Amino acid sequence: MRRSAVILLILVSLSAEAIAADTKPATPAGKPARSTVDPALEAAHAKEDIKRHRTIAAAHEAAANCLESGRDEEVCNADLAKACQGIAYGKYCGMKHPD
């Protein structure tokens, strides 16, 4: 019985420590961090990103049409890879995000 009481005491103290560790300190919220990225560069990056998404979407649409026409999947995937060359990676045209 004494052993059970000791184990129970340990479990209770561990759970109390875990709860205390999860609480956030009460500090006043400061101003949010300002972005150091030039808004003009950010806008240009967003435009370029949109252009790449549309190019890849068009390539995927062409691949879907290719498959619908009954052509072999390997042929359609090869066409997809060619259409995405330089802006995407992999066999299935995943978009590259330059950071």
pLDDT band of 6, cuts 50, 70, 90: low
- Statement: the pTM of the whole predicted model exceeds 0.75: no
Nearest to 74 by CA among 59, 91, 60: 91
Does 3 reside within a domain? no
Does 29 reside within a domain? no
How many domains does the chain divide into?
A: 1
Model confidence pLDDT, tens digit, residues 13-55: 666 555 555 566 666 667 777 777 788 888 999 999 899 899 9
Residue 77: domain span:
37-94
Does 65 reside within a domain? yes
* Cα end-to-end distance, the chain, whole Å: 62
Question: Is the separation of the CB atoms in 63 and 79 below 8 Å?
Answer: yes
Does 22 reside within a domain? no
Does 60 reside within a domain? yes
